[in-house]
Amino acid sequence: MKGKYYTIHLKDWEENIRGWVIDENEDWLLIHSNSNDYVFDGFSFIRKKFIDKAERGEKEQEVELVSELRKESHRLKYKFKFGDIISLIKWIEKKFGMIEFRDEEEDTIFIGTIRKIIRGEILHLNSIDPRGKINKDFGYDFELNKIRVLSFHSNYFNAVKLLWRHRSSGNRISDNAK
């Protein structure tokens, strides 16, 4: 699959994930994500055990052709090693300051920092909302074996990270800002 563009169908999800496969091992695909037409934005690790099928039809070949004609690079500039879910989560947080993932609830994106990992099975998250604020009332624990997609370095991810770091440094965003 490496070096080609695919539409990935995940089990029990309506929405598909599209992207250029950068690398893979027996458990994970690393893709340069493509959420809209011909625009690549961010990267995702997709857990293979949740993939129902991967397709390369006419639409996928057309997106691939446009990308090649543009001479776009689909490489991750950062060194990483495939590993288990915990090592990938820790790598993303160390490299980018926070993590983003989706589990069986396809419509919900979770962003935050690791509060703790319990028995290597449960992730307790310091949740960061879309406005870059820590949600102190968030107390949900995630089963690591249910996480399907780890994403990072998209425009949305980076915007939330900027807001979070700005607010964490004691700054406020005024409603009257000019």
pLDDT digits (tens, 9 = 90+) for 111-159: 999 999 999 999 999 999 999 998 878 778 899 999 999 999 999 999 9
Model pTM greater than 0.85? Answer: yes
- For 1-77, CATH number? 2.30.30.100
Q: Same CATH fold, 84-172 and 1-77?
A: yes
Residue 13 pLDDT exceeds 80: yes
Specify the pLDDT at position 51.
97
Pairwise CA distance, residues 37 & 51, whole Å = 22
Pairwise CA distance, residues 21 & 6, whole Å = 7
pLDDT tens for 42-53 read 999 999 999 999
- For 84-172, CATH number? 2.30.30
pLDDT tens for 165-174 read 999 887 776 5
The values of phi and psi at residue 123, to 5°, are -105, 120
What is the overall mean pLDDT for the chain? 91
Residue 176 pLDDT exceeds 70: no
Specify the pLDDT at position 96.
95
Reading phi first (left if > 0) and then psi (alpha if -120 to 50, else beta), residue 165 is in: alpha
Specify the pLDDT at position 106.
86
pLDDT tens for 61-103 read 999 999 999 998 898 888 889 999 999 999 999 999 999 999 9
Specify the pLDDT at position 175.
46
The domain locations on the chain are 1-77, 84-172
Neighbours of 117 (CB within 10 A): 16
